[in-house]
Amino acid sequence: MLDHAMISDTHEPERPIRGAVRVLHDVLGGLGAEAPNAPDDAATAQLGDVVDRLDERAFGFLLLMLALPCCLPFVYLLPQLVALPMLALAGQMAAGGRHPWLPKKLHERSFSVSAFQGVLSRAEKYVGWVERFASPRLAFVTGRIGVRLVGLLMLVPIASILTPLPSTNTIPGIGIAVTSLGLIERDGFLVILGLIIGFIWVFLLVFLGAEAVQLIRGWLGA
C-alpha cells in the first residue's frame, strides 16, 4: 500500500504524468478485474477499496471521482449516492485528516464499476482541458492549514447537491470537481475558482428560493 501522507507545506511532489481521470480509470479497472466471477459490465467495488488504492492525494482523487457524476447531465441516482461520502470527506479535511477514512456503511457502499468508468470516460476530455492549465501555485491554499479551510468551505456546495430539485447538482458538482483538481495538482488558483463556482450556485439557490417563497405567499394571500 502506498504512503498515505496527505499534503505537506514543505514538500511538493512532482505533478502526475498521467491525468487524474486516467489514474482513477486504472484504479477502477483493477478493481473490476479482481471482482470474483463477475462479467466486466456487472462488476462492483466498494468505496473503501478505492480509498485503499489511492496515493497521498487521496482526498482530491476521491472527491473528483465522486463529483464527476454530479457534473454531467442525464446522470441519475449516482449524485444522490455520492453526496454523503463527499460530505464525510470534506468534513475530514476540515478536521485536519491526513488520509480519507469512511464510516463502515460508507466504506462498504458498493457501486457499479462500469457505471463509474462510463462517467469518467464522458468527463475525461473536459477534465483534461482544465488540467492543461493547472500548475502548482498559491501554495498556501493547498498547505495543511489551507486544506482545512477548503474542506470546511466545500461542505456548503456539497450539501446543496442534496437539494431535491431537478438539475441542482450540476453547477456545485463542477465547482467541487475543479476544487478537487486543484488539490491534486497543488493549484491554489483552481481550488479558489472551484469554491467560487460552488458558492455562486448556493447564493443563487438561496436567493431564487427566497423569491419563489415570497411569490407563492403572494399568490396565496391574493
pLDDT tens readout for residues 167-196? 678 888 899 999 999 998 889 999 999 999
Q: Is the dihedral of CA 10, 145, 21, 51 positive or negative?
A: positive
Amino acid 7: pLDDT: 43
Dist CA 148 CA 94 (whole Å) = 4
Average pLDDT over residues 22-43: 67
* Cα dihedral 62→68→69→73 (10° resolution): 170
Rounded Cα gap, residues 2 and 5, in angstroms: 9
Q: Is the pTM of this model over 0.85?
A: no
Binned at pLDDT 50, 70 and 90, residue 209 comes out as low
CB 193 within 8 A of CB 148: no
